[in-house]
Amino acid sequence: MWLRVQRYPQLHQRARQDNEALAQVKQAVSTLVQGRIGSRAFEIGVAGWVQGKVYITLKKRRGHGLVVGDELMVIHTDDGIPMGWFEVTEVRSSEYYACGVHNVDAVWAGYVQQRGETFIQPHMAAIYVLREEG
């Protein structure tokens, strides 16, 4: 017990340094993600739970149109964590609708299911995934 008490300041300092290093890495990842996705990112309006799936609305952008069947990956822009793959299911005059089709984050899906429909936090974006021609 006494040894733990004596070593506490050292352990506390080490934990603080590790947390600071982790924060720097997270910031670097965020900066990298923002730089890479800017031209293909779509702002998400709301998410809803419909017939057991997560649906999102995407705001239209000038010069970047989507068509039914296009795929997007939703990511959390603060840390670059993928939140799921979505497919465009409907094109409307001012927005697109997309349905979660693969690897939708279970915690996020549960939150959307509980809320029914919810605005998306500003730290998420949907990235258009270019299809390979072949």
Domains located in the chain, CATH noted: 35-128 (2.40.30)
- For 131, the 3-state DSSP assignment is coil
Average per-residue pLDDT in the chain? Answer: 82
Quote the CA–CA distance of 27 and 35 in Å, as a whole number.
12
Q: What is the mean pLDDT of residues 70-95?
A: 89
Q: At 64, give phi and psi (nearest 5°).
A: -130, 90
Q: What is the pLDDT, as a whole number, of residue 118? A: 85
Write the single-letter amino acid at 2.
Answer: W
Residue 121 has pLDDT above 80, yes or no: no
Q: What is the pLDDT, as a whole number, of residue 2? A: 66
Tens-place pLDDT, residues 2-55: 667 777 888 878 888 888 877 776 666 555 555 555 567 888 999 999 999 999
Closest CA to 126 of 78, 56, 65: 56
Write the single-letter amino acid at 82.
Answer: P
**Rg of the chain (C-alpha set):** 20
Based on DSSP, count helices (H) and strands (E) in the chain, helices before strands. 2, 7
Residue 134 has pLDDT above 50, yes or no: no
Quote the CA–CA distance of 98 and 35 in Å, as a whole number.
24
Residue 111 has pLDDT above 80, yes or no: yes
With a threshold of 0.95, does the pTM exceed it?
A: no
DSSP codes of every residue in 4-38: HHHHHHHHHHHHHHHHHHHHHHHHHHHHHHHHHHG
